[in-house]
Amino acid sequence: MGALHDGHLSLLSAARQSAGFVAMTLFVNPLQFGEATDLAAYPRDLARDLDLAEHAGADAVFTPTVREMYPVGRPETRIVPGRLATMLEGESRPGHLEGVAVVVTKLFALAGSCVAFFGEKDYQQLVIVRRLVADLDLPVEVAGCPIVRDHDGVALSSRNRRLSAEERGAAVVLSRALAAGRLALEKGHAPREAEGVMADVLAAEPLVQRDYAVVRDAETLEPVTGTSSRGAAATRAGGANGVPPSRSRLRLLVAARIGPVRLIDNMAAA
């Protein structure tokens, strides 16, 4: 959605290494915003973005207007990602993930057969896009790319530029919480206990208002249950025979508000 940073540019770099032609879309999609003030405040600098995209390897940049993308206004046809869109970001930002699904489906229809590169920072979005492609048999291969972080561990985000210096300093607590939760899992603690560890780390930063801090199945984003910290069976929701998922099947996710900005981050458990 523009306001490009090194995280976005890393997607172009990954695409450049594996594709003969690299196209990028820059479009602030109004369907993804629940609040008009949030949409209005979203940073935009098209000239800068085009220059960065060109130097990062984009062969073409598609920059449609809202009228070009939605010529008859808000579309009546809905792309509903199901349960995946009702949890986490879907619960906190109603309609957001449906808006993502609509615009991504339209862009895939325009692009045709392709490889699409998405960053893992919006992990729930990545999971939904993969499921959308599979469910609708779209001729698209979805490639997930690692989160790019600043020197202090803060995940790069276009929203970071709206933080004050003090708020930016506080934002590091999100990645610290994730690291603490992952360490708890590595030590044998149950997912619920790791969630408590993450919540405690976030609570120690007075500028941060936690939305969620959870451990979920990496493929389905379903909750992972279990009460024992060392050796007792933790059961993935919907799993069979009470077999606990390996750490490689787990994803830690956090969301919090810092000043005027809501930030998200996530980390693999192993």
Confidence bin at 226 (pLDDT 50/70/90): low
Confidence at residue 240, expressed as pLDDT on a 0 to 100 scale? 40
Whether residue 166 contacts residue 207, with contact meaning beta carbons closer than 8 Å, is answered with: yes
Query: What is the pLDDT of the chain when averaged over all its residues?
Result: 90
Q: What is the pLDDT of residue 44?
A: 87
Residue range 47-67: mean pLDDT, rounded: 95
Per-residue pLDDT tens digits for 70-115: 999 999 998 999 999 999 999 999 888 999 999 999 999 999 999 9
Q: What is the pLDDT of residues 166-215, one digit of tens each?
A: 999 999 999 999 999 999 999 999 999 999 999 999 999 999 999 999 99
Taking alpha carbons only, the member of 194, 210, 207, 199 closest to residue 251 is 194
Find the mean pLDDT for residues 132-150: 97
Give yes or no for a contact between 229 and 210, defined as CB atoms under 8 angstroms apart.
no
Q: How confident is the model at residue 33 (pLDDT cuts 50, 70, 90)?
A: confident
Active site residue 189: no
Domains of the chain: 6-145 (3.40.50.620), 158-268 (3.30.1300.10)
- pLDDT of 248 above 80: no
Backbone angles phi, psi at 115, to 5 degrees: -110, 130
pLDDT tier, 235 (very low <50, low <70, confident <90, very high otherwise): very low
Burial class (CB in 10 A: 0-12, 13-18, 19+), 234: buried
pTM as predicted: 0.89
Token digits for 114? 């392709």
Report how far apart, in Å, the C-alpha atoms of 185 and of each of 114, 129, 182, 270 are. Answer: 37, 28, 5, 9
Distance between CA atoms of residues 80 and 99, nearest Å: 9
Identified catalytic residue from 8, 55, 151, 189: 8
